[in-house]
Each structure stands twice: as structure tokens, then as C-alpha cells.
Amino acid sequence: MEKILMRGNEAVAEAAVRAGCRLYFGYPITPQNEISEYLSFRLPQVGGVFLQAESEVAAIHMVYGAAATGARVMTSSSGPGVSLMQEGLSCLAAAELPCVVVNMSRGGPGVGNIQPAQSDYFQAVKGGGHGDYRLIVLAPSTVQELVDLTYRAFYLADKYRNPVEILGDGMLGQMMEPVTFREPEFPPLPPKDWAIRGKGSGPRKWVVCLDLDPKGLEALNLKLQRKYRLLEEQETDYDTFGDPEPEILLVGFGTVGRILKSVVREGKKEGLKLALFRPITLFPFPKAALFEKAKGVKGILVVEMNLGQMLEDVELVVRGKVPVFFLGHTGGVIPTVSEILEYVYGLLKEEIRV
């Protein structure tokens, strides 16, 4: 199959088009502008629609409207822009509308800077918007994985009628790697009977994101929770690498996963028994798999390009049975292999008590 050298941002755009996305609404923000620039010429080529909105607030609501018609639609942004989209994401989740949002994270909080970071784990996974909803969150670590997860994102969005966030970072968006656009075989999806397309000869339909009857709103919330339980049972994904019986388990997502892979390899050369656990679905978080993998290890080292976000979920999963340590940098500072290895040595020297 043909291998093409592509920048992450452009690869996710091309994969979206091949996955059937025909509408894009977005607003410029570094470091993901190549996504909209690419789609501005690519979508018209396939009869699709590209529209630069007046803000991220407008963009996410244009996504809401197009999603309500049953179309495959996406937007993209970075942390500050995704913050503006939170109201819209809460509405999309409440209305059970499918869509894909790509977040190429940068340093935060506030305007932060334009360098890569993983500052938006909380925003994506715990929900920056109001109400009891979750986004499906996928965290690619290579440009190829970004492509593969983009196909999956549109499938999951339609299957579960839920917004899906692809959580990348500026490094992934800007780096160039060879990719193949291999379209996965997904099971068929049911027709979108709920879509709003004009009532035709039938009864009218409506898509709303409110219910003023308390029992009604609770029922909607319970329905959403059942959906999230189903996601946890069926769609968790993760990757492992390294020693089958590690002393230290390294946990990281996205581009940090690649750095940790190098740490495992370097450590092995020096006789260390290390392994990597890399969650690919941040929601649903691969809790059971992590719990299993954590059995028997001396300690877990969570590494992130933030100051401790996924860390909290790892601590929740292991419930104090294994000590959890953390190394993080943010603002565009990237943890290095040697720095992480030095920390691991430090852990191994001390007597780690539970």
C-alpha cells in the first residue's frame, strides 16, 4: 500500500475526508491551522463544505446543526479554542449528536503558548463543559495512529451518537511521518432515523438538548450513563511494550508514549525491567487492563506533558495497591529519555514501600 510522508495535521484532515467527513467548521489557532487549510481545498474536491467560522463558539454550533442533519462533520482547535467549545460539546452530548473534534494541545493555562503540551487531559476526559456527560477521547502517539484513530473516531461517534475528541498535541500535529490510509473494516451502522432533514411526508422530528421535566432529564442522563458503561465494556484500547514482568511500569499517553518506549528500550540495554502501558482511549479509560498490568510491579511512573492530570486516573485505578510516582513538564518543555531514566534509577535505589 502507498506510503505518503505527511504532516500530522494534514494526515488527520485527509483521513477525515476518507472516513466520509463532508463538513468542516473551524477557526484558526496555532498549532493546528494546517487542518483547516488542507480541508479548505480538499473538501470542495469531494463536494464537501469548508467554512471558516467567526469563532470557535460559532464553529461548534455549526457542527451541532450539521450533525443534527445526520452528516459526518468535524472541527479542530487547540486548548483555548476547545475551551470556547465546551458549551457546544455539552449540548452535542445531551442531544446525542455525533461529531469529531481534533485538539492539538498547546501550553496553558490561559493563552499559554503555541508549543506542544498535554494540558488538556482534564478538559477532554473530565469534561470542561457542564453536566454529567463524557466525550469519547482517543490519544494517538504517531501520525499513522492519528490516521487510524480518525477513521475510528467517526465510526465511534456514529455508533454511540456521541462527540469524539482526538487529543493530540502540537508536536504530533507538526511532525511528518510516512502513513498509509488503510480504511478499517467496521461493522455496518444503523441508519440515522433520528436525523433532522425536513419532515417530508412523515411526522415532524426535533433535536433538542434540554428537558424541563425533572424525571425526563434524569432519564436522559441515565441513558447517557448506560452508553458510557457500554463504551467501557466494549471500546477501551491501550498498548503495552517491554518486559512482561516489569519492576517499574511507565504510563503515558500520546507523544509521551513514544518517549517512554525509548526509555524502556534504553533501560533494557542497561538491564532494567521496565514496561510501558499506553492508554489509547482516555475515555473509556482502560482501567481493568491497567490494574492487571500493575500487579506485581514495584512502582508506577506516570509521565505527562502537564503537571499531573492522567496521574489522578492512574491513582484511582490502582487504589493505593502500588505506589504511583510522577514526572511532568509543561509549557512546551518535553521530558527527555535520559531525564526519565535517571528518575527511574532514583526510584529503584530507594526502598519503595506500599
Partner 1 sequence: MKVVFERPKTLLEKPFTYCPGCHHGLAQRLIAEVIEELGIADRTIGVGPIGCSVYIYEFIDVDFVVGAHGRAPAIATGIKRSLPDRVVFSYQGDGDIAAIGTAEIIHVANRGELITSFFVNNAVFGMTGGQMAPTTLLGQKTKTTPLGRDPQVHGFPFRLGECLSVLEGSAYIARVALTRPQFIRQAKECIRKAFLTQMEGKGFSLIEILSPCPTNWGMSPKEAVDWLEEKMIPYFPLGELKVKGCNSRETP
204 versus 215: smaller Cβ distance to partner 1: 204
Is residue 57 close enough to count as binding partner 1 by CB under 8 A?
Answer: yes
27 versus 253: smaller Cβ distance to partner 1: 27
Q: Which of 168, 255, 174 is nearest to 10 (CA)?
A: 174
Question: How many angstroms separate the CA atoms of 306 and 98, rounded?
Answer: 29
Question: How many angstroms separate the CA atoms of 305 and 171, rounded?
Answer: 11
End-to-end CA distance of the chain: 50
204 versus 319: smaller Cβ distance to partner 1: 204
Q: Pick the binder of partner 1 from 1, 110, 187, 208 (CB under 8 A).
A: 208
Supply the minimum distance, in Å, between the C-beta of residue 130 and partner 1: 11
Q: Pick the binder of partner 1 from 30, 69, 221, 262 (CB under 8 A).
A: 69
Q: How far is CA 112 from CA 60, 105, 106, 306, 307, in A?
A: 22, 11, 7, 12, 14
Is residue 217 close enough to count as binding partner 1 by CB under 8 A?
Answer: no
Question: How many angstroms separate the CA atoms of 178 and 31, rounded?
Answer: 20
Is residue 341 close enough to count as binding partner 1 by CB under 8 A?
Answer: no
Q: Pick the binder of partner 1 from 185, 187, 204, 213 (CB under 8 A).
A: 204
Q: Are strands 176-179 and 248-251 parallel, antiparallel or unpaired?
A: unpaired
Helix (H) or strand (E) holding 171: helix 170-174
Is residue 88 close enough to count as binding partner 1 by CB under 8 A?
Answer: yes
207 versus 217: smaller Cβ distance to partner 1: 207
Question: How many angstroms separate the CA atoms of 103 and 80, rounded?
Answer: 10
Supply the minimum distance, in Å, between the C-beta of residue 209 and partner 1: 6
Q: Do residues 184 and 173 lie in contact, with contact meaning Cβ atoms separated by under 8 Å?
A: no
C-alpha cell at 13: 484532515
- Give the per-residue contact string, 3-42, with partner 1 (x = CB under 8 A; - = no): --------------------x-x-----------------
Q: Are strands 281-283 and 176-179 parallel, antiparallel or unpaired?
A: unpaired
Is residue 197 close enough to count as binding partner 1 by CB under 8 A?
Answer: yes
Is residue 206 close enough to count as binding partner 1 by CB under 8 A?
Answer: yes
75 versus 281: smaller Cβ distance to partner 1: 75
Place of cell 465546551: 86
Binding window for partner 1 (CB under 8 A); candidates: 52-60, 226-234, 244-252, 265-273: 52-60
Question: How many angstroms separate the CA atoms of 321 and 297, rounded?
Answer: 10
Is residue 65 close enough to count as binding partner 1 by CB under 8 A?
Answer: yes
Supply the minimum distance, in Å, between the C-beta of residue 98 and partner 1: 13
Residues 50, 51, 55, 61: is their CA dihedral positive or negative?
A: negative
Binding residues for partner 1, rule: CB under 8 A, are 23, 25, 49, 51, 53-55, 57-59, 61-69, 71, 73, 87-88, 91, 95, 196-201, 204-210
